[in-house]
Amino acid sequence: MNNSYVKLHIENQVGYIEFFHPSHNSLPSDVLEKLIDTITEAGSNDAIKVIVLKSGGDRTFCAGASFQELINIDSEENGKAFFSGFANLINTMRKCPKFIIGRVQGKAVGGGVGLAASTDYCLTTKYASIKLSELSLAFGPFVIEPAVTRKLGLSNMTQLSMDATNFYSAEWAKEKGLFVEVYETVEALDTAVKIFAENLASYNPEAMKQMKSVFWSGTEHWDDLLIERAAMSGKLALSDFTKETLKRYK
């Protein structure tokens, strides 16, 4: 698999949305836009009662934003637009009228952690360690912070953000509330996801829609907040300190 994609497959009233990028399932702008459009499409499709979000391959779940696009930011406007991709994705997921189950088979870094935190219920393998590396790259996880803090709490978000070079285990993330269950193998994960999603799909869709609204109550201001955070990140990406730091990772 060398070409990126986002695809939707429907089985037993479950919409499986899968994304892939050859660079550790990172999410450049074009893939982010396709993912947003596909989630929106699934949310309005009457043939779908529940959504499963997954990535291709059997290793990294999501490495976050595109590093190449990050180092190419050359203006505050472009920086805001770049970071707004994840802001728009998180807002699309929280406003989707259907439950989104996360299927996380491997490591999640940066925006990948935010993606997992924006699902309504997340199942993983033991290989799904997490890391917020943004501070080590000279900016911060500003856009994803509300979603991650909502799941993990401020204390654990603080720990992840400040300890920006270390991975935390899937079991740690489960204990703190990001993941619901951790499985030994991808096969066991897929079986559990299928059983749970299909069982959920048998419930009253209107009741699930209203429950999702209850679960995300208090986040209505995120439409503005996350875009403000995107502008903050975009401005930092232009600083000399950040540019010099990113050169070392190039």
Please compute the mean of the pLDDT values over residues 94-116 and round it to a whole number: 98
Considering only CA atoms, which of 215, 231, 229, 220 is closest in space to residue 91? 220
Q: Is residue 246 situated within a structural domain?
A: no
Let me know if residue 78 belongs to a domain: yes
Confirm whether 230 is domain-assigned.
no
* pLDDT tens column, 35-68: 999 999 999 999 999 999 999 998 899 999 998 8
Domain membership of residue 199 (yes or no) is: no
According to the model, what pLDDT value does residue 187 have?
Answer: 97
Closest by CA to 85, choosing from 227, 232, 228, 239, is 227
Residue 228 lies in a domain: no
CATH of the domain at 37: 3.90.226.10
Mean pLDDT score of the chain: 96
Position 202 in a domain: no
Whether residue 211 is predicted with pLDDT greater than 60 in this model: the reply is yes
Is the pLDDT assigned to residue 2 strictly greater than 70?
A: no
Count of domains in the chain?
Answer: 1
Domain, as residue range, for 48:
5-186
| Residues 211-249: b if buried by 16+ CB within 10 A, e if exposed | ebeeebeebeebeebbbebbbbbbbbbeeeebeeebeee
Q: Give the residue with greater pLDDT, 147 vs 243.
A: 147
Structure confidence at residue 243 as a pLDDT band (50, 70, 90): confident
Domain membership of residue 36 (yes or no) is yes
- Report yes or no on 239 lying in a domain: no
> What would the pLDDT profile of 60-100 be if each residue is shown by its tens digit?
999 999 988 998 999 999 999 999 999 999 999 999 999 99
